[in-house]
Every structure is written in structure tokens, then in C-alpha cells.
Structure 1
Amino acid sequence: MPDAMPDILPRETVLTIRDTCLCLAAQRAARRLARRFDAALRPFGLTNGQFSLMVALNQPEPPPIGRLAPFLGMDPSTLTAAVKPLARRGLLTIEPDPEDRRSRRLRITPQGVALMREAVEVWRETHAALEASLDDGVADALRRGLAQMA
């Protein structure tokens, strides 16, 4: 005899979660946005996450990983893994922190800055097209709403 059908949630529960869950909606939107920007940045050999990381490194003093990780919404070990391919490409360097030798700092290289100058133009075009596809005020409302969740 075949296994009996397991008890499952009522359909209305599933539909309610589908239609109201902020986490699910944010995940779905984030994946769509990520695919869009990954495609735009592919000619530069960057993902949208790597692009954001490289932008965050564009500052006079190299930031410590421990400070950069929360800014990017990552844990330090995930950030450490994410920087390795960029370091192998010579786009950034990983340096000991002079104030805490156990910690590391990330510095964008001249090659990284040159690549980012090109990639930023494509990001601007892609971002402008995305915002133009939204109704008036939606992009600003999204930014405000997402900032409140931090």
C-alpha cells in the first residue's frame, strides 16, 4: 500500500503567507534584482555582491573586515570568503590591521579602481532603467522601508 499523504497546511494558510510574508517578498525581490545586476556586471567579471564590496572599499583608509561585514550585511567569515576571488584577480589586497595584527583590512588596488570606474557606468544605466520602470515614488519608498528594517 502506498504511503499515505502527509498532513499539509491548509491552502488558505499557504496563500496568506505567499501574499503577506515580508521575508518571502524581500527574498523574491532580492533574487530578481541580483539576477538583473549580475547580468549587467557580468562583462566585468563581477557579481552584484562583489560590486557592492568593491564600492565599500573605495575610501582613503582600508576598512577592517569586522567593520565592513556588518555594513554589507554579512558575517566576517562570509566576507573573507567573498574577497578571495577579488584578491586573486588583483582587485583588492588583504592586509594585516596595524592596530590589531589578528584582524585584516581590505584595500582596493589601482586595478580595482580602474575596473570600478567602468562598472559604475553600467550600474548607473541599469539602476536608472530599473527606477524608470517603477511607479513614481516607489524606489524612494522601498529605500525608506528597507532602511527601517535595519
Structure 2
Amino acid sequence: MSRPAGLAGDPLEFAVMTEISIIAHLADNAFARRLPDGLTTAQFAVLNHLLRLETQQTIGELARGLQVSQPTMSSTVKKLEEKRLVTLVPDPDDRRIRRVSVSPAGTKARNKAVKALDATKSELAVLSQKEWKQLLPLLNRLRVALDSAR
């Protein structure tokens, strides 16, 4: 039997955020099981973040953007660099600064990981394509608001 997140009397916003948190945890685990070539969810997150924003970022910027510590991000980027999925590019204005750039192999690995999600389509068929299209703008608006408030 499915029960809503939270307890009776909890604010609606809390219940929705709890549902999102549980969904995120379940989705991360399902996705991690399907990631190709030894890619971790943290490594995928870096590739996806940089490609989605069409940018290069320093390790500090990545750490802030993905809300992890700088040493954790340094370790993740080092592993991506060892796999040749990213390169560190000197900043043109300050050669001491290096920016993380996704390599062509990194783009390919990210796209391969996204294709691996096809295996979850049957699990996600609980919502119609129309419902997914309706849900996306609402979640996007919530993400943008939460991101700007941090």
C-alpha cells in the first residue's frame, strides 16, 4: 500500500519535498545500477552539469554548483581526468586557474549513460508522456527557486 510522504497534518510543501527527496534517492540508485563503464553518479553529475550549462568551471565552482566539498570534487575530477572524460584547461586570464572541460569521450560517456535510462522506461510508465511534459516545468520552477535561495 502506498502512503503519502510525511505525517498527517504536515504542511503540503513539506510532503511534496519529502516525495521529491525519496524519488531522488530511488532514481539515483536505479540510475547508478545502469551506468556504463564504471562511471559513478558523482562523475556523471559533473559531466551532465558542465554539458547542460555549456561551460567550463573550476573545481571550486563545480563543488559549489553540485554542493559538495572541494576535496570531494577534486577527487571526482581526478578520476574523470584519469578516464580521459575531462581535461583541465588553463584559464586564459589567469594561468594559475584551471577549468574542467568535458572531452569528446566525456560527452560520449554522458550520452551513453542517458541511453542506459531506457531500461527504466517500464518503471516510469506510471506517468504518461503528457504528464511528464506537465511535470517538468513545475519541477524546473521549483529547482530554480531553491537554487537561487541557497
- TM-superposed deviation, 1:92: 1.1
Q: CA deviation at 1:47?
A: 2.8
Asked whether the 8 Å contact 1:64–1:103 carries over to 2, the reply is no
Aligned match of 1:34: 28
Q: 1:106 aligns with which of 100, 103, 111?
A: 100
Q: Is the 8 A contact 2:84 2:105 kept in 1?
A: yes
Give the greater-gyration-radius structure (CA): 1
Match of 2:38 in 1: 45
Alignment partner, residue 9 of structure 2: 16
Deviation at 1:27, TM superposition (A): 1.0
Give, in whole Å, the separation in 2 of the partners of 1:120 and 1:136: 18
If the length of structure 2 is used for normalisation, what is the TM-score? Answer: 0.64
Local SS of the residue matching 2:97: strand
Paired-residue identity, % = 27
What is the CA distance between 1:117 and its match in structure 2?
4.8
Q: Equivalents in 2 of 1:108, 1:101: separation in Å?
A: 19
Q: Does 1:137 align with 2:130?
A: yes
State the one-letter code of the partner of 1:139.
W
Other-structure match for 2:84: 90
Q: Which residue, 44, 47, 64 being the options, matches 1:54? A: 47
Name the SS of the counterpart of 1:51 in structure 2: helix
What's the Cα RMSD here? 3.4
Aligned to 1:6: none
Residue aligning to 2:113: 119
Q: Which runs of no fewer than 5 residues in structure 2 stay unpaired?
A: 1-5, 145-150
Structure 1 pair 50/135, CA: closer, same or farther in 2 (3 Å)? Answer: same
Q: TM-score, structure 1 length as denominator?
A: 0.64
Q: Which sections of structure 1, spanning at least 5 residues, go unmatched?
A: 1-12
